[in-house]
Structure 1
Amino acid sequence: MSAKIISGTEVAKAIREELKAEVAELVGKGVTPGLVTILVGEDPASQSYVAAKNRTAKELGIYSEQITLPADTLEADLLQLVEKCNKDPKINGILVQLPLPKHIDEAKVLYAIDPDKDVDGFHPVNVGK
């Protein structure tokens, strides 16, 4: 039996094309999927990662919004922003980029995300699925 080499690039390209078609179908029905990414602080690796997510979302036809907050943002303010995004009908997915600054309780923030909008699947409701 011989081994088969799988090209990750080709697999990713196929998945992107499939997603692009699915998004176009939704848009054709009047539904534009929406993603918000929330970045707290100025970590260069996190900035790059979030920028790539937003770029890919836009390439697929997904409405994408990036919210960048200073590292000294209060936990209460971040929780208030998450709640605002939970209630926003144009936002279907929320992604809070980790890690968060040490003064913010990551679990509290992740649990505040509506499980139906939890892109990373870290909410306890989604972890059990």
Structure 2
Amino acid sequence: MTRADNRNRHWQARREHNVALGAKGIALAWSDQVRAIAAGRARRGDHSGWANLAATLEVFCSRFAPADTRRAASQLYHWELRLAALDGASPKTIALAWWDRARAVAGDQDGDTGWADLARTLQNLHAVS
């Protein structure tokens, strides 16, 4: 069995596990795919995959207004501090920070709404990658 076969088998098993988790799992599965594409490109010297992922997640997060709660205000404050500290960071570091933020935003939505939207967003990014 080749390395690619093993990787494919691992991806299928992980995808099946994630899909069993519902919309959140589907979003995690698509995240695995787009991060793998970005990492592969970066190994070849092209960091645009990470930059595209960061930009996509930033747009996703901007579509949801923060809740009018102290918790949401605190999260936003700390996010803005983290984002400011990322000035000059690598595209991968910035993309992974936006991934953290996107998960928080998705989780703050009612039911599976945020996770389903995040899954579609990542699926669309995968389609154009």
TM-score by length of 2: 0.30
More helix by share: 2
Which of 1 and 2 has higher RCO (CA within 8 Å, sep 6+)? 2
Higher percent of residues as strand: 1
TM-score when normalising by structure 1? 0.30
